[in-house]
C-alpha cells in the first residue's frame, strides 16, 4: 500500500483511505469484497492495519475495521460503518463516494488523524489547523440548514393538542444545536485568538 504524503505538515501523518484505491483494487464491482490495507508511516515508524469491507447493496456501505493504539500503548478495536454515495457518470455507470460520517459531505478520501479514533473527511479533521472543533462547526452548519428547511416546511404546529412529527423533529434539532453551540463558540474564540496572535 502506498502511503501518500501531503504538503501540509499534519496531513502526512494521517491515514487516508481513497475511493480511487478501492476502485483500483476492484472493490467497486461485485457485491462484496474485503481487503487488508497496511499503512506505514516512515516518519513515525508506526504501521496501521485496516480491513475494509465493501458491500454494494441497494444502500451501499463500507465497513472499516482497525485498531488504535493510544499514548499509553492501550489498543482498542474499532469498526466504522461508512455509507457510500453514488453519482451518475457521463458515460453510464456510477461513481462512488464516501459519505463523511460527521458532516455527511460526499468525499473521495477519508482520514484517520493521529490521536483520533474515527475516519472523517479532511474538513472535519481540519488537518491543516490541528483543531478538533471544525467537525462541530461542520455539523452545526448541517443542522442549522436542516432547521431552516424544516421551519419552512411546517404548516401545522400541533394536531389534537400534540406537536406534529415535524415540530418534534425541529425541537430535537434545536436541542442538538444548543448542545453543539458550546464547543463551536469555544472553537471560534480559540481561532480568533490565534489569528490575533499571528498579526
Using CB under 5 A as the criterion, which residues of the chain lie in contact with Zn ion when the complex forms? 100, 102-103, 121, 124
Point out the residue whose Cβ comes nearest to Zn ion.
100
Give me the least distance between CB of 14 and Zn ion, in Å please. Answer: 14
Nearest to Zn ion of 62, 100 (CB atom):
100
Nearest to Zn ion of 82, 100 (CB atom):
100
Nearest to Zn ion of 28, 121 (CB atom):
121
CA dist 73 and 15 (Å) reads 19
CB-based burial label for 27 (10 Å; 0-12, 13-18, 19+): buried
Give me the least distance between CB of 122 and Zn ion, in Å please. Answer: 8
Contacts with 179 (C-beta within 8 Å, 6 or more apart), sequence order: none
Give me the least distance between CB of 135 and Zn ion, in Å please. Answer: 7
Nearest to Zn ion of 15, 121 (CB atom):
121
Give me the least distance between CB of 183 and Zn ion, in Å please. Answer: 16
Give me the least distance between CB of 131 and Zn ion, in Å please. Answer: 13
Nearest to Zn ion of 111, 170 (CB atom):
111
Nearest to Zn ion of 112, 121 (CB atom):
121
Give me the least distance between CB of 103 and Zn ion, in Å please. Answer: 3
Joined grid coordinates for residue 2: 502506498
The 8-class DSSP code of residue 129 comes to: T
CA dist 19 and 171 (Å) reads 37
Secondary structure string (H, E, C) spanning 20-61: HHHHHCCCCCCCEEEEEEEEEECCCCEEEEEEEEEECCCCCE
Q: Helix or strand or coil: residue 177?
A: helix
Closest by CA to 143, choosing from 107, 171, 119, is 171
Amino acid at each position: 500500500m502506498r502511503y501518500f504524503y501531503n504538503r501540509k505538515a499534519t496531513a502526512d501523518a494521517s491515514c487516508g483511505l481513497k475511493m480511487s484505491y478501492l476502485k483500483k483494487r476492484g472493490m467497486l464491482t461485485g457485491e462484496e469484497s474485503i481487503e487488508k490495507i497496511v499503512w506505514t508511516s516512515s516518519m513515525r515508524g508506526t504501521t496501521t492495519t485496516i480491513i475494509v469491507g465493501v458491500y454494494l447493496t441497494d444502500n451501499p456501505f463500507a465497513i472499516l475495521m482497525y485498531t488504535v493504539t493510544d499514548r499509553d500503548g492501550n489498543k482498542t478495536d474499532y469498526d466504522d460503518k461508512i455509507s457510500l454515495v453514488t453519482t451518475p457518470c457521463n458515460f453510464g455507470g456510477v461513481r462512488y463516494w464516501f459519505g463523511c460520517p460527521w458532516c455527511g459531505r460526499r468525499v473521495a478520501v477519508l482520514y484517520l488523524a493521529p490521536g483520533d479514533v474515527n475516519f472523517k473527511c479532511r474538513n472535519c479533521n481540519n488537518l491543516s489547523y490541528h483543531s478538533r472543533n471544525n467537525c462541530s462547526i461542520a455539523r452545526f452548519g448541517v443542522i442549522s440548514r436542516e432547521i431552516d428547511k424544516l421551519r419552512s416546511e411546517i404548516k401545522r404546529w400541533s394536531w389534537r393538542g400534540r406537536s406534529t412529527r415535524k415540530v418534534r423533529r425541529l425541537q430535537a434539532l434545536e436541542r442538538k444545536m444548543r448542545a453543539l453551540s458550546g464547543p463551536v463558540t469555544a472553537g471560534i474564540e480559540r481561532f480568533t485568538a490565534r489569528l490575533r496572535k499571528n498579526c
